[in-house]
Amino acid sequence: MIKIGLTGSMGMGKTTTGKVFEKLGCAVWDADKTTHKLYSKGGKAVTAVAKLFPSSVENGSISRSKLKTLLRNDPDKLRDLETAVHPLVLEDRQNFQNNTKKEIVVFDIPLLFEIGADKDMHKTVCVFTSYENQLERLMNRSHGSEQYFKELLSKQMPSNEKCERSDYVIETSTLTSVEKRVKEILKDIETQKHA
The answer to whether residues 31 and 94 touch, using CB atoms and an 8 Å cutoff, is no
Least confident of 78-82, 90-94, 138-142, 169-173: 138-142
Distances (CA, A) of 28 to 104, 129, 140: 9, 21, 25
% the chain with pLDDT above 70: 98
Residue 50 has pLDDT above 80, yes or no: yes
The answer to whether residues 156 and 109 touch, using CB atoms and an 8 Å cutoff, is no
Listed residue (32, 187, 182) closest to 112, CA to CA: 32
Enumerate residues 6+ apart whose C-beta is below 8 A from 1: 97, 100, 102, 103, 104, 105
Q: What is the pLDDT of residues 117-133, one digit of tens each?
A: 999 999 999 999 988 88
The answer to whether residues 4 and 122 touch, using CB atoms and an 8 Å cutoff, is yes
Q: How confident is the model at residue 153 (pLDDT cuts 50, 70, 90)?
A: confident
Q: How confident is the model at residue 143 (pLDDT cuts 50, 70, 90)?
A: low
Q: What is the pLDDT of residues 77-105, one digit of tens each?
A: 888 998 999 999 999 999 999 999 999 99
The answer to whether residues 189 and 105 touch, using CB atoms and an 8 Å cutoff, is no
Residue 37 has pLDDT above 80, yes or no: yes
Residue 52 has pLDDT above 80, yes or no: yes
Enumerate residues 6+ apart whose C-beta is below 8 A from 150: none
Round to whole Å and give the CA distance between 31 and 29. 7
